[in-house]
Amino acid sequence: MALAKADFTTRLLVDAGIGPGMRVLDVGCGSGDVSWLLAGLVGEDGAVVGIDRAAGALEVARQRESRKGAALPEFVAAELCALPAPLGLFDAIVGRRVLMYQADPVKALRALARCLLPGGLMIFQEHDGSLAPASQASFPLHHKAQQWLRRMLAHEGADLNIGFNLHRLFSEAALMVEDLRAECLVQTPDDAYPLGEIIRACLPRIIAHGVATARQVGIDTLQARLDAERLRSQDIYIGDIAFGICARKR
């Protein structure tokens, strides 16, 4: 039986060289998905620190169950551009969907680089809407749902085209780019994408920004309607493009 392919984030981190014994900082860690992934990669001899300014998300991250053989992450309330000095230096700094929200990404990268050891790694995953959503067939509900997300992100100040700018931003921050990759998130008639659940998680923000009302979204039936639209078509749908970049401190 074929082994399941690792997800984009895992492949990005492993290919960049994240491994046993490393000390890694996860910025904008939220509820800790990437932090706990890193904990397994660095093992018991490594260390992971996750920072975020959202106290509620950090509390959720702390409550997650640790795994045998993995580091136990530490979660700290902090601002990305004003890291507490006691955090010390790291072998690598990681972030996912973080730079796209920075008013000055180069300034943010330079601030973070001060917490890297010489030769340390800076690894970020960002999502870009320049070429997506894309399809040859009609997916009206999928497109509508994607537009809700895009308009929400725009209201929150996110750069929806950051993927195409990553090489320039890291270079301007005096970091040596070692790898830049992109991958389409492809949905087929046989493989669903949980767009409805993503909308559910974002629904309070969608409503708060006036992007759509709860009645317009119809969250309780949204995923089922998306699945029905997918199953009616024999075409593929690309809803998002993930960019990953790995650079090294000079």
pTM, full prediction: 0.91
Residue 85: what pLDDT?
A: 87
Q: CA 243 to CA 250: how far, in whole Å? A: 22
Average pLDDT over residues 207-214: 97
Q: Angle at Cα 145 formed by Cα 206 and Cα 142, nearest 5°?
A: 175
Residue 1: what pLDDT?
A: 45
- Residue 4 pLDDT > 60, yes or no? no
- Residue 3 pLDDT > 70, yes or no? no
The number of angstroms, rounded, from the C-alpha of 123 to the middle of its chain's C-alpha atoms is 11
- Residue 5 pLDDT > 80, yes or no? no
- Residue 82 pLDDT > 90, yes or no? no
The H or E element spanning position 175 is: strand 175-187
